[in-house]
A = this chain, B = another copy of it.
């Protein structure tokens, strides 16, 4: 098996660690942020640009890809890497999160989920076996178990039921998954904000010996303190020698908090989504570059950033492009925002290896704000 994870350094003051993750399409160091390429493209950004920005692994969404263009087509193209011309690692989610958040749910049973496509209302059925089959055909390096994601406001009884299903489904995923496929399967811990459920779920999944573990069902409407509390009591239940992935999270601050709690991998649409809406991350906090105050601002988006956008374009120009709905505007904000995230994680890895993570976090918050 080509998958391997090694801890390289451990922080002394926090749970943070620096690690190395090896896959069939190359290796990278953690903690890492994975840009989201929902529909076989990171929105507005090309694969060569992703490399320029420093992306080492990207994410694809199984739900979207299986609806359009369909896993058959992507398999015919030679898999997702070939289809989109990205030769570095890819992770696909299980489709679960989108089925539960985007689609119209018709019926959830222990067998699987009947749902209607958010695009055209067409009826589909997905279960653990089907999710793994789709992900096998997409051909990502890391694939995810199919889990049940309860809504953020679900009561304990509901969440308990979801955890039970998630555990049974994890077993079925593992059974369906071919360990010689060159793909690696991660398990997903559910349990809402409930300590006993999270710990029980983590403990059971740990016994199933997955190659990596994700914490799912966070950033779904719960309070930030709750998210951090969940990490505080969940991550210690996970094996030290396996990578840990916090799904769908989050802001730069969330990343720093997650890292300090022992998380190795993150993904989030925030940098590209906010970019499309005209917001940019800077070392001194987020700015809405679309705003009138930047009309005659001929400084870079972030004067402390050394990305191509900040080296070559001004806030005034980007604002003009965004206001005029020029595609280049969205390209520039998305590029910068992704660079900001990837640079932050690069600094995090360096700080962990030098034992200076806490200092980095303090410095970051002092300028960026909480």
Q: Which residues from chain A sit less than 8 Å from chain B, CB to CB?
A: 39-41, 43-48, 68-69, 73, 76-77, 83-85, 295-296, 298, 308, 312-314, 316-317, 320-321, 323-324, 326-331
Contacts and interface: CB of A to CB of B under 8 A. Distances in A.
A44 B320 CA distance: 14
B330 A327 contact: yes
A328 B46 contact: yes
A185 B126 CA distance: 66
A298 B77 contact: yes
Given A39-B324, A39-B326, 11 more contacts: A40-B317, A40-B320, A43-B327, A43-B328, A44-B326, A46-B328, A68-B323, A68-B324, A69-B295, A77-B316, A85-B317
A43 B326 contact: yes
Nearest to A45: B328
A86 to B, nearest CB: 10
Select the residue from A41, A43, A84, A312 with max chain B CB neighbours within 10 A.
Answer: A41
Contacts of A328: 41, 43-46
Given A73-B295, A76-B298, A83 B46 contact: no
A292 to B, nearest CB: 12
Contacts of A85: 312-313, 317
A168 to B, nearest CB: 34
B317 A77 contact: yes
The 5 A-B pairs at the shortest CB distance, nearest first, are namely: A44-B327, A69-B320, A41-B328, A41-B326, A39-B324
B296 A73 contact: yes
A42 to B, nearest CB: 8
Nearest to A317: B83
A28 B177 CA distance: 59
A269 to B, nearest CB: 14
A29 B162 CA distance: 68
9 contacts: A39-B320, A39-B321, A39-B326, A43-B327, A43-B328, A46-B331, A48-B308, A85-B313, A331-B331
Contacts of A298: 76-77
Nearest to A335: B46
Contacts of A83: 314, 316-317, 320
Select the residue from A68, A308, A317, A329 with max chain B CB neighbours within 10 A.
Answer: A317
A336 to B, nearest CB: 13
Contact of A77 (B44, B69, B73, B314): B314
Contacts of A314: 77, 83
A52 to B, nearest CB: 11
Contacts of A69: 295, 316, 320, 323
A308 B308 CA distance: 20
Contacts of A331: 44, 46, 327, 331
A98 to B, nearest CB: 14
A200 B60 CA distance: 64
Contacts of A295: 69, 73
Nearest to A309: B46
Nearest to A329: B41
Select the residue from A40, A69, A73, A320 with max chain B CB neighbours within 10 A.
Answer: A320
Contacts of A73: 295-296, 316, 320
Nearest to A69: B320
A290 to B, nearest CB: 13
A305 to B, nearest CB: 16
A85 to B, nearest CB: 5
